[in-house]
Structure 1
């Protein structure tokens, strides 16, 4: 993310009733900027990214900046998980907190013709973005949901490493190297088995997660592993207003590119969303095109219209989160009659 030294006065703030706070989060420290009402004045501070530092942040906002918590809107950037404890702590203090996609703030920074990048300047940019854009409030996942997300992401990482080692073994011409790699591969396979068992036990130990998995597994083409990942990444379906929003969260909505009468590019998947969820749905879409009557009929209809194979797979991928959202939202098993040819 980059930042700018001067605000764009032509942009009218959308969040004038609150005091915008930007926090640039790193592993060791928090750079904080609190904007004044006119966005030209601000106060800044750097504190350690620790529990004591967060307590210090609360007291600083309350006593030194003299702003009521009800008037504060804090904006943080998703930064590989470092932002999560900070966001949860501030949420517990009844502050309005937003955790924004770095692509949004990066685009905003570019629109401001930024020339500098430092942690304090980044924090100021986040505060200005918060004041002008008023991003949606963040809601923390339940501890069971967060634990499941951590485990499924860990499982994905192990499987990625397993595939990398397999490829390396296939390319190796040295028996010594091959034996060493096979020993590591055996250990990773054991860890994968253990983690898959732990994920299953975790889901079965939580009634709400177990019910969601049961519902998702009624969808032909969605297996146990994918169901767990969908639950982990999609989260509570109530946070989406529609199935379309759930598909957009996975980056599976079409992105159109047309301009005037001369630029008419083919629509593509936006890919602005959860890459983990999108990757999992790719393989399940291929499976669903063979074993899910509704998705299969949909694919056949697209094939008759001359659509390419990858286009059909992409369309099936987009339909799967719609169906997953429907069964989770309504709390009812998959009913193919509700999706005649989708």
Structure 2
């Protein structure tokens, strides 16, 4: 199945990265430029290097190897975790994880990594920072509410929290403005197309483009819906277990929340989404479940619009390719 001379699984931590070659076995290097170059020297030609998406840690190595013409694959950590669980592994170390990633790559088709442009890299950095600030702002709002409930016994604390919220509001506005300008620079047409979908606003369209690299990361709607985390999970076993169907929350929480909010308007003004909502509610399903289905439908519409390059049209959106 594997067409490469050697497959390397890489487990990355803050200071070092462990690797396991399908032929050469285990090795370890420092997670810095010097370590990258040492690794590059021992890499046989026609090899593939596979690593998990680990936030900041994998990015530098993946970019370095890609720019040096090495085939790189970045895989979902959850997929590797499930693979390890299936093997009933009892040992978990950086060394064993590197070996497991190698074995996973040998047993499965892995997606090739494409280096990010400078604009894409900055957009992702801004998106992560924005998510961090949004969480801080929510925490600050909750603290303000708590102080108000107490009757504001300390005016100093209350004023400090208000200043903090005001500062976070300013930073969030600045980040969103910068994100919008960067996306317009490279993806203006796609941004315009997505906002033709009833229910999708500029902010949601912007985030969709950033986290999907202009939808280039995904080949099917199933992959995209799974990534966002709005695919239903069913819990049934035999005749006794009838678990409640719910969405899979393994995915991008920020984007999932935005789509859920968009679903409120889409259920009213988007013809296909309104039909989904009314059908489920008429069947006795909860309004929340119906809105989740609308969010799923909305995401599929966005995928179809982005891939087809055509604006939204009630008469034709149902026949656009979404698989």
| Fold shared, TM-score > 0.5 on shorter chain | yes
Q: Which residue of 2 aligns with 1:132?
A: 107
1:233-258 Cα distance to aligned partner (Å, 9 max, x none): 12233443333332222222222333
SS, match of residue 47 in structure 1: strand
How many residue pairs match? The answer is 315
In the alignment, structure 1 residue 57 sits paired with structure 2 residue 44: no
1:215, CA displacement in angstroms?
0.9
Task: Indicate if the aligned counterparts of 1:237 and 1:325 stay in contact, CA closer than 8 A.
Answer: yes
Alignment of 1:141-152 (within 5 A): 141-152=116-127
Runs of 4+ in 1 over 6 A off after TM superposition: none
Greater relative contact order (CA < 8 Å, ≥ 6 in sequence)? 1
Task: Indicate if the aligned counterparts of 1:16 and 1:131 stay in contact, CA closer than 8 A.
Answer: no
1:85-108 Cα distance to aligned partner (Å, 9 max, x none): 111222223332221222122222
Q: Which residue of 2 aligns with 1:298?
A: 276
In the alignment, structure 1 residue 77 sits paired with structure 2 residue 52: yes
Give the structure-2-normalised TM-score.
Answer: 0.89
Cα RMSD of the aligned pairs, angstroms, is 2.3
* Structure 2: unaligned runs, 5 residues or longer: none
Task: Indicate if the aligned counterparts of 1:158 and 1:192 stay in contact, CA closer than 8 A.
Answer: yes
183-192 vs 112-121, which moves further: 112-121
1:2-45 Cα distance to aligned partner (Å, 9 max, x none): xxxxxxxxxxxx43754221111112211122122xxxxx4322
Match among 226, 229, 254 for residue 276 of structure 1: 254
* Structure 1: unaligned runs, 5 residues or longer: 1-13, 37-41, 62-66
147-156 vs 22-31, which moves further: 147-156
* Whole-angstrom distance in 1 between the partners of 2:86 and 2:220: 30
Match among 189, 201, 204 for residue 181 of structure 2: 201
Q: Which residue of 1 aligns with 2:65?
A: 90
* Whole-angstrom distance in 2 between the partners of 1:269 and 1:323: 19
* Whole-angstrom distance in 2 between the partners of 1:223 and 1:150: 22
Q: Which residue of 2 aligns with 1:177?
A: 157
* Whole-angstrom distance in 1 between the partners of 2:222 and 2:96: 36
Q: Which residue of 2 aligns with 1:110?
A: 85
